[in-house]
Amino acid sequence: MHFAAAVLSSILLILSFSQFNLGTLAWISLVPLLLSCRSTSPHRAFLFGWLTGTIAFSGIIYWIVIAMNQYGNIPILPSVLILLLLATYLGLFVAVFSSLMSFFLRHVPHQSSLILAGPAVWVSLEILRTHLFTGYPWALLGYSQYQWLSIIQIADITGVYGVSFLVVLVNLFLALLIETLTIWFREHPKIRIVSMVLPAAITTSLFVLTLSYGQFKQETLHKTTDQRNIHLGLVQPNIDQRKKWDPSFRKETIDRYLTLTTQAIKKHGPDKVDLIVWPEASTPFVFELENTFRDQITTLVQTHQTPLLFGSIAVKEITEQSAQLLNRAYLLSSQGSILNHYDKMHLVPFGEYVPRFFSFIDKLAHGVGDYVPSNEHTIMSGPHGRFGVAICFEVIYPDLVRRFVKHGAEYMITMTNDAWYDHSSAPYQHFSMVVFRAIENRVSFARAANTGISGFINADGTIKQKTNLFEKTTIVDTVKLGHDQTIYTAYGDIFAYTCTGFTLGLILVAFARQNKRQKNG
């Protein structure tokens, strides 16, 4: 029974995320696991929770095998083992949640405290996962709701963690309700039904308040008409990852960018495109060191008198043994000069550097030497507003994006290369997280991706326009500038840390009650 509950919860969790887009299932995904927590010890609940998490994350991030095997040249067996190792680690967070819930179900007497304990524990573990060992906040539970805009507007106060809180709250209420009704039908103790009144009131109130707040915020944002605009053009070249760094394909790659950029500007007119954006590492060469290809790009910009933002490798330091590289975004003026640049701060393990403990594994990314991180939230400035740039996985870190906006960004651009993940669910999952970054900080987002998904997202999370995967195309749209600073932008993850404090306090109270019972027993 417990094994079946663990497997069922893991399947429901997998189906809740993009590309399946069955986010409704998230609201019941933890019910089987929570029901099993009541009838087993905390130690056994830990094991079943671990199993749930390991299976779920294996199904959600299976694309790691594709990236490592097909593009990283790592044999299939080691690739699968690395996936299982990561999934097992991520599964530990579900294991701790299950163990604590089993413990609380025994030692927290008040249903009102218990109904809030589950969501608080889950959020505490999500914020821990976001930061522990450089952090890996992929597939936080709240992301499953990226299409339900009314319910996720609360993120401008709580971040994505508030949505996770609400989803777990509903799951826990349903589990307690099923358990109570089962006992009621069997034994008819009226007190059991009465005990559910307060949890029902808490769950219903928080759900209705969240939904009402979301609808109010959407209506308010739609009525706002006094914001400035900028017209952005996004280039999606669809460069095969196998060819991307092949010197024999350099000219073909650059020609594709030049052609697509010219087409976009001519189609919409130079007055309708204020800034062209290329994806992460779009130039298959070091921009500041290779004059021939660099001159082609600057000539393009000068010809069309349109500024360009693009990704390229930069060299920080070269030694006899290796080179220290930077994953950089350059902003060129309409005259072709470098106005500014931003160097990526949060690097991807195995993609841009190899952790010391895994030095036996080659980097997935092609290039000599390790990438090194920057530590500056650079704000790009131009005649059309101030913006920040999040490169690739940086956009999945809520606090990192928040700091750009707090430092003055009026809109955000994220550039990436998701070609590593082929036709898997990874590009869909990656894109869905941008919706939350827009809502959390009430800024518009533009996303330029090599093979997709590129697109534009409004400050209320509305996806205005997006491309298909693996198509060669350009899209142009209007991006609104400016914002009213949100609670989340101003104070960050205060909600998540409050949940952590509540969880720690509840653990102390539960242990005190357990010790008291043991002394009296």
The DSSP line for 262-290 is HHHHHHH-GGG-SEEE--TT-SSSBTTT-
For residue 360, what pLDDT is reported? 54
For residue 180, what pLDDT is reported? 83
Active-site hit among 244, 352, 363, 392 = 392
499 is catalytic: no
For residue 191, what pLDDT is reported? 52
Mean pLDDT of the chain: 90
Least confident of 232-241, 283-292, 329-338: 283-292
User: Which domains are seen in the chain, by residue range?
Assistant: 2-223+493-520 (no CATH), 229-347+375-481 (3.60.110.10)
Least confident of 167-176, 311-320, 359-368: 359-368
Give the distance from CA 222 to its chain's centroid. Answer: 25
Residue-wise pLDDT for 417-436, tens only, equals: 999 999 999 999 999 999 99
Phi, psi of 62 (to 5 degrees): -55, -25
- Does position 323 have pLDDT exceeding 90, yes or no? no
Helix orientation angle between 2-16 and 42-60, rounded to the nearest 10 degrees: 30
Q: What is the DSSP letter of 394?
A: G
Work out the end-to-end distance of the chain between its first and last CA atoms, rounded to an integer number of angstroms.
Answer: 31
Residue-wise pLDDT for 38-66, tens only, equals: 889 999 999 999 999 999 999 999 999 99
Is the separation of the CB atoms in 462 and 455 below 8 Å?
no
Phi, psi of 291 (to 5 degrees): -65, -40
Is the separation of the CB atoms in 68 and 354 below 8 Å?
no
Q: Does the predicted TM-score (pTM) go above 0.85?
A: yes
> What is the average pLDDT across 74-98?
95
- Does position 319 have pLDDT exceeding 70, yes or no? no
Residue-wise pLDDT for 122-181, tens only, equals: 999 999 999 998 899 999 999 999 999 999 999 999 999 999 999 999 999 999 999 888
Least confident of 107-121, 327-341, 387-401: 107-121
Active-site hit among 344, 363, 406, 480 = 344
Phi, psi of 147 (to 5 degrees): -90, -15
* Nearest CA among 155, 149, 268, 278 for reference residue 218: 149
> What is the average pLDDT across 302-321?
87
37 is catalytic: no
Q: What is the rounded (10 degree) CA torsion for 195, 200, 206, 212?
A: -150
Buried b / exposed e along 450-463 (16+ C-beta atoms within 10 A):
bbbbbbbbbbbbbb
Q: What is the CA radius of gyration of the chain?
A: 25
Position 295: which residue type?
A: D
> Residue 494 and residue 138: Cα distance in Å, rounded?
20
- Does position 108 have pLDDT exceeding 80, yes or no? no
344 is catalytic: yes
For residue 321, what pLDDT is reported? 64
For residue 367, what pLDDT is reported? 46
Active-site hit among 37, 244, 280, 363 = 280
Q: In sequence order, what are the residues at sequence separation of 6 or more whose Cβ sits closer than 8 angstroms to the Cβ of residue 458?
A: 221, 438, 444, 464, 480
- Does position 363 have pLDDT exceeding 60, yes or no? no
Structure-model confidence comparison of residues 50 and 363, the more confident one:
50
> What is the average pLDDT across 223-232?
83
